[in-house]
Structure 1
Amino acid sequence: MENRRNLFFFYGDDKATLIEKMKPVYDILKENGFTILDHPQHANAIVSVGDDGTFLQAVNKTGFREDCLYAGVSATDDISFYCDFHIDHVDSALQEITKNEIEVRRYPTIQVTVDHDTSFHCLNEFSLRSSVIKTFVLDVYIDDLYFETFRGDGLVVSTPTGSTAYNKSLSGAVVDPLIPCFQVSELASLNNNTYRTLGSPFILSNDRTLTLKLTHNDKDYPVMGMDNEALSIKQVEKAVVRLSDKQIKTVKLKNNSFWEKVQRTFL
């Protein structure tokens, strides 16, 4: 049971300053039997220190692990979705955690497979667009059904938790993470008497498969966004998106549910 108290800290920008500010937290953790690791391999909890972008990087760089708990510490004054603690108050919060059992929140992820060769997960969203200034053309399939031909800047596929990010700026719906689904939103679609798309975001259940096939003229120029990272692969034929069975476990504190975060952030 000893290894259940192994922690790894993942730092964002200005690492030296953040480590210095976190020293009092280290002392509290060590006093309560926690071990601070230099590598995430044997960690039971991975703590990001920075902002939401740092949290996404921490999950990505450590392989979307399901066997550990992720926690975020905000080092900015910006409202955060993934950071349940603030660096100026994390010591008092940890004192409460060490005295009481915490609840675990589970966030769904999507899995993206590109041409049967490259596969990766996203916690927020996957986006597909052209790297040149031109109309991007994609054939959209839902399961085996040809659904539409999209013309525009690109498409964004988001998880329920990612629905509050890029997706929301595209007038997508905010989705409860307890609903196993993913959402597709358009980037500046071209709609006229010749070309037509659905023109609104749509939500697919966890049993659905979304396939995005690139037309011949666009195969050399896709840019794929995986959360806050960009992936560029030439000669892409298609990208297949599904809701993954893999879930990310995070700390759930009192008065800090998903909808309480939505309320604090937007209302």
Structure 2
Amino acid sequence: MTDRKNVYLFSKKTEEIEQKILEFRELGRKYGFKLVDHPKDANIIASFGGDGTFLQALQKTGFREDALYIGVNDGEFGFYTDFSIHDPDRIELAMQSDMVEVLRYPTLEVTTDDGQKFHCLNELSIRSNIIKTFVIDVYVDGLYFETFRGDGLLVSTPTGSTAYNKSLGGAIVDPKLPSMQLTEMASVNNNRYRTLGSPLVMGKERELTLKIVQDGNDHPIVGIDNEAMGIRHSHELHVKVSDRVVKTLRMKDNLFYHKVKRSFL
């Protein structure tokens, strides 16, 4: 991090975190780091909170490709937060040693039928906004694949595979595999509607198209990471693995499989 010294802080607003940030400011000054007031002036963006705060920091700062993102957790380590506000020694070690490395996480690019573009690090979810199933035609690279009826569909990144996707029975995917995974939410399978019935992992070169069939349930809830998006009257979503990556800092002794084991085993 020797060539990165301008830091923008994004945090949950709690008394404990605010107090800890004051301590870390002093630590940063010791090693020549400077706080900036706007993310555009930063080459390091540090989030203080959990994985949800880290995802919000990405959305609010526009998925900066020229910045390094660092997650500092207010509790246990998360999948995106390699540091803790309760362990300043580990943060100081990262500031002065070669025990850290930069990871490049793949993201998804989502395009609506009116041309709006979004990025997400965890997942795209599309769900019915009323207590009723809805229908989506699924296309892969423009080829009709299946017609889904159910509560919704989820498209996750490899890092997002351990979150909502896992709770739906999806596979955990190594982040070193640039890919996306389509997972069903309570699909209806009968003589009229037939789906694959299992998660589908697709490579980086694939493009997924989700077309909402107009049958009276025309305004689904579209979620990008942990935020519901204000998308209305959009009947078609195009999803692919983006060329844009998120650069994050982690300690070399905290691999992805350490995180999986710590969280689930």
What's the TM-score once normalised by structure 2's chain length? 0.95
Amino acid at match of 2:5: R
Q: Distance in 1 between matches of 2:46 and 2:157?
A: 22
Residue 61 to residue 106, structure 1, CA distance change in 2 (3 Å): same
Pick which of 165-174 and 31-40 moved more: 31-40
Amino acid at match of 1:42: D
Pick which of 144-153 and 213-222 moved more: 213-222
Pick which of 58-67 and 17-26 moved more: 17-26
Q: CA deviation at 1:193?
A: 2.6
Pick which of 211-220 and 43-52 moved more: 211-220
Q: CA deviation at 1:3?
A: 7.3
1:199 is aligned to 2:188: no
1:159 is aligned to 2:161: no
Amino acid at match of 1:226: I
Q: CA deviation at 1:196?
A: 1.0
Could you list the runs of 5+ residues in structure 2 that have no partner in the other structure?
none
Q: Distance in 2 between matches of 1:211 and 1:139?
A: 8
Q: Distance in 2 between matches of 1:251 and 1:2?
A: 13
Aligned 1:117-196 pairs, distance under 5 A: 117-196=115-194
- Which residue of the partner structure matches residue 66 of structure 2? 67
Pick which of 22-31 and 58-67 moved more: 22-31
Q: Distance in 2 between matches of 1:232 and 1:70?
A: 26
Q: Distance in 2 between matches of 1:266 and 1:138?
A: 32
1:36 is aligned to 2:43: no
Q: Residues 59-84 of structure 1: CA distance to partner in whole angstroms, max 9, x if unpaired?
A: 1100001101101111124x511111
Q: Distance in 2 between matches of 1:39 and 1:175?
A: 34
Aligned length: 264
Q: Distance in 2 between matches of 1:118 and 1:25?
A: 38
Could you list the runs of 5+ residues in structure 1 that have no partner in the other structure?
none
**8 Å Cα contact 2:83/2:91 also seen in 1:** no
Residue 232 to residue 24, structure 1, CA distance change in 2 (3 Å): closer
- Which residue of the partner structure matches residue 6 of structure 1? 6
Q: Distance in 1 between matches of 2:104 and 2:4?
A: 19
What's the TM-score once normalised by structure 1's chain length? 0.95
- Which residue of the partner structure matches residue 54 of structure 1? 53
- Give the percent of matched residue pairs that are identical in Structure 1 and Structure 2: 52
Residue 32 to residue 200, structure 1, CA distance change in 2 (3 Å): same
Amino acid at match of 2:48: V
Q: CA deviation at 1:36?
A: 1.1
Q: Residues 109-152 of structure 1: CA distance to partner in whole angstroms, max 9, x if unpaired?
A: 00000114211000000001111111110000001210000000
Q: Distance in 2 between matches of 1:4 and 1:76?
A: 26
1:96 is aligned to 2:86: no
Residue 88 to residue 2, structure 1, CA distance change in 2 (3 Å): closer
Q: Distance in 1 between matches of 2:241 and 2:216?
A: 26
Q: Distance in 1 between matches of 2:240 and 2:155?
A: 10
Q: CA deviation at 1:20?
A: 1.4
SS of match in other structure, 2:27: helix
Of residues 91, 106, 109, the one that matches 1:108 is 106
SS of match in other structure, 2:243: strand
Residue 100 to residue 2, structure 1, CA distance change in 2 (3 Å): closer
Q: CA deviation at 1:219?
A: 6.2
